[in-house]
Amino acid sequence: MKVNELAHSLGKHPREIMGLLSELGVRLKNPQQRLDQTMIDQVKSLVAGNIEASDASTEARVIPFLGNRMVLKELATLLDVDLSRLMRAVLEKGMLLNLNSEVEPSLAIELASKLNIILETDAPKPETDTIRRALDRIEEAELDRDPGALVERPPVITIMGHVDHGKTRLLDSIRKANVMLGEAGGITQHIGAYQVGVNGRKITFLDTPGHAAFTSLRARGAQITDITVLVVAADEGIKPQTIEAIHHAKAANVPIIVALNKMDKPEADPDRVKQQLVDHDLLPEEWGGRTIYVPVSAKNGDGISDLLDMILLQADMMELRADPSGMPQGVVIESRLSRKKGPIATVLVKSGTIRVGDSFVIDATAGRVRALLNDCGDKVNEATPGAPVEVLGLVEVPTPGAILEGCASEKDAKELATSRATDSQGHYRPITLESLSDGVEQGAGQRLNLIIKADVNGSMEAIIASIGQVGSTDVTLSVIHAATGPVNENDIMLARASNAIIIGFGVSINAEAQNMADNESVEVKMYSIIYQIVDDLTKAVQGLLKPEFEEIETGRAEVRQLFRFSKLGVIAGSYVISGKIIRSATAKVLRGNKEVFKGKFHSLKRFQDDAKEVATGFECGIVVDGFESLQEGDVIVSMVSQEKKR
């Protein structure tokens, strides 16, 4: 079909169609040129998308976003849009993606903006002493409570597993089963968590969008999950994300219940899956282990009631108790800004009871509860331990993982918030190989958690085996996660939560992960030779590893003319030929290829003004401290010392 024919069929001017094609990267000279079917379909989608967009509301929706990677259909769920709309946005960018194509955070934000949706991606901030002290106060308050006042609280459950193994469908089946049982059902809104009733008891499910959310909460000290349900497809077995989920759950030190999903499929082989999971220390109870396995089918609802019973059985063994009296404490699991209601936080109550009218503090901000909404969107007067509830009455949108603390009065809340606002001490202190070495040298016994990312399985296994040979009475080495592939954001968050060091071998780290590592103060060590990993770890555990420094050249300047002054000595009129000359750096003078002097810069000027640095292509005046034998044609090199990457 020609361009002008397509334009006529769509009721558009050919110039408009050529403009749309230009957006897709197709440059045409005239409307008589023919298009293939792919281009025709993309243009039709663009036209349909433009019509739909023109009819839509101009007010953008704001959705909190953790900045994690996800597949396209997960993004559609997060954005709460039809997959067809999202696919049109993809086509507008001239991309060919399928439902299971992985989407980078930057692309997710761009696609969302095309749908008039804003993804808020505030980078998580390191935990401060104020949050740590808040958590300590919660723990101390629990210890001080009268044992007679403790009552059973609902267990808090997180469902994890591989992306295609049915986590979302399992949650939907649990909701449906809850309604069928005649319990309090009818979830009408997404608040990040919800409760189901089972035989007069309650279970709280965290509806997190993956492992990153689970770990980011824990990275701020908010250990709120009691039990992890690991979903594994019985017809496929374990996948890389399954192993990752196991490592996240183990790092959180919570029990795991395995839900063997898709048992309705004829190719389901639960025994094969169990054998695979045994290799990851998940030995079934019927084989003499401690891990509960439940066969289920999220598709037809089989086994759902058994799974809920097993969750309650595990909770009974854990004896989960809380005191509903006293000041409330809770953890923010989601937050957002509503244009009508203002800042809103979904809070999971840890202890006490939060009521309408209560004063509270979150981080360094005081507030007062104006209203409470449950997971059905109904207004409630109070929320007890284990219950998720939306809190209205905040001044600012809090960070997920922040702690809500109840106060006796509005005055007390404001005083506590003011004291926190002035307290900027005690940021999270990350562990590094050098700091570990210093601690060992001073006689401090320590534990070092490691995350290994390697290019192939053979390298990964060799590294783990080699690490096992590194011995020390002062340091315990523990590999909490190992996988192949580049270092990604999930690795950084797991390292942040577990205070671990990432060891990369023959792999890269993407820009998003590097930025997150810098923001979260996570150390990532990259290597290309295995024995260097072992050597560094050995030195670290023996207290011998010290930072190594090397001199890096920042720039060169050629001496073009000499000026002599009685007070300053020789001033070298120079021209910067590469990089930049830095006044605080070390100066090295080259004559030909021979170094004739090494010392310090006495002064660096641009015309009559002092300069801290001068870049390529600019003239400057240089005085080298203690060296007056400069000659025209000499090259002055600027050198700085920096820690050598291992």
Please tell me whether residues 185 and 213 are part of one structural domain.
Answer: yes
Which region among 54-68, 154-168, 435-449 has the lowest average model confidence (pLDDT)? 435-449
CA 612 – CA 179 distance, rounded (Å): 70
Which region among 137-151, 159-173, 192-206, 509-523 has the lowest average model confidence (pLDDT)? 137-151
Domain stop point among 541, 563, 579: 541
Please tell me whether residues 212 and 294 are part of one structural domain.
Answer: yes
CATH number at 339 reads: 2.40.30.10
Q: How many domains would you assign to the chain?
A: 5
Please tell me whether residues 159 and 306 are part of one structural domain.
Answer: yes
Task: Let me know if residue 134 belongs to a domain.
Answer: no
Give residue 12's pLDDT: 73
pLDDT of residue 22 exceeding 70, the answer is no
Domain stop point among 120, 145, 163: 120
Please tell me whether residues 228 and 248 are part of one structural domain.
Answer: yes
Retrieve residue 524's tokens.
């990532």
Mean pLDDT for the stretch of residues 114-142: 56
Please tell me whether residues 175 and 232 are part of one structural domain.
Answer: yes
Full residue range of the structural domain in which residue 282 is found: 154-319
Task: For 137-285, list the strands marked E by DSSP.
Answer: 151-152, 156-161, 193-198, 201-206, 227-233, 256-261
pLDDT band at 428 (very low <50, low <70, confident <90, very high): very low
pLDDT in tens, 32-44: 777 777 778 777 7
Task: For 80-150, list the strands marked E by DSSP.
Answer: 102-103, 117-120
Task: Let me know if residue 340 belongs to a domain.
Answer: yes
Please tell me whether residues 297 and 198 are part of one structural domain.
Answer: yes
Please tell me whether residues 315 and 336 are part of one structural domain.
Answer: no
Of 142, 199, 182, 215, the closest CA to residue 385 belongs to: 142
Long-range pairs of 180-184 with CB within 8 A, sequence gap ≥ 24: 181/305, 184/376
Beta bridge partners of 118: 62
The 8-class DSSP code of residue 149 comes to G
Task: Let me know if residue 353 belongs to a domain.
Answer: yes
pLDDT of residue 267 exceeding 70, the answer is yes
Give residue 274's pLDDT: 94
Give residue 181's pLDDT: 46
3-state helix, strand, coil in the chain (%, to 5): 35, 30, 35
Q: Are 612 and 568 in contact (CB under 8 A)?
A: no
pLDDT of residue 311 exceeding 90, the answer is yes
Please tell me whether residues 299 and 393 are part of one structural domain.
Answer: no
Please tell me whether residues 197 and 293 are part of one structural domain.
Answer: yes
Task: Let me know if residue 137 belongs to a domain.
Answer: no
More confident residue, 94 or 530: 530
Please tell me whether residues 114 and 249 are part of one structural domain.
Answer: no
Give residue 502's pLDDT: 93
pLDDT of residue 155 exceeding 70, the answer is yes
Task: Let me know if residue 630 belongs to a domain.
Answer: yes
Task: For 251-364, list the strands marked E by DSSP.
Answer: 256-261, 292-295, 321-322, 329-338, 342-351, 354-355, 359-362
CA 392 – CA 356 distance, rounded (Å): 9
Parallel/antiparallel/unpaired status of strands 500-505 and 446-454: parallel
Please tell me whether residues 187 and 306 are part of one structural domain.
Answer: yes
Give residue 456's pLDDT: 81
Task: Let me know if residue 395 belongs to a domain.
Answer: yes
Give residue 64's pLDDT: 73
Three-class SS of residue 142?
A: helix
pLDDT band at 431 (very low <50, low <70, confident <90, very high): low
pLDDT of residue 52 exceeding 50, the answer is no
pLDDT band at 322 (very low <50, low <70, confident <90, very high): confident
Give residue 167's pLDDT: 82
Helix pair 457-467, 530-541: axis angle to 10 deg:
30
Mean per-residue pLDDT of the chain = 79
Give residue 123's pLDDT: 40
Which region among 59-68, 159-168, 375-384, 560-569 has the lowest average model confidence (pLDDT)? 59-68
More confident residue, 69 or 624: 624
Give residue 586's pLDDT: 93
Mean pLDDT for the stretch of residues 182-196: 58
pLDDT in tens, 587-596: 999 998 899 9
Mean pLDDT for the stretch of residues 621-628: 90
pLDDT in tens, 360-375: 998 778 899 999 998 8
Task: Let me know if residue 180 belongs to a domain.
Answer: yes
pLDDT in tens, 234-260: 999 998 788 878 887 887 778 999 999
Give residue 495's pLDDT: 83
Please tell me whether residues 251 and 347 are part of one structural domain.
Answer: no
More confident residue, 353 or 19: 353
Domain stop point among 272, 288, 319: 319
Retrieve residue 365's tokens.
């901000």
pLDDT in tens, 447-497: 678 899 988 877 887 888 888 777 655 567 788 888 888 898 878 888 887
CA distances in angstroms from 427 to 130, 397, 528, listed in the order given: 9, 21, 33
Mean pLDDT for the stretch of residues 585-606: 91
Give residue 368's pLDDT: 92
CB burial string 520-532: b at 16+ within 10 A, e below? bebbbbbbeebee
pLDDT band at 140 (very low <50, low <70, confident <90, very high): low
Mean pLDDT for the stretch of residues 371-400: 88
CATH number at 233 reads: 3.40.50.300
pLDDT band at 442 (very low <50, low <70, confident <90, very high): very low
Give residue 268's pLDDT: 92
Range among 202-211, 525-534, 615-624 rated most confident: 615-624
pLDDT of residue 265 exceeding 50, the answer is yes
Task: Let me know if residue 500 belongs to a domain.
Answer: yes
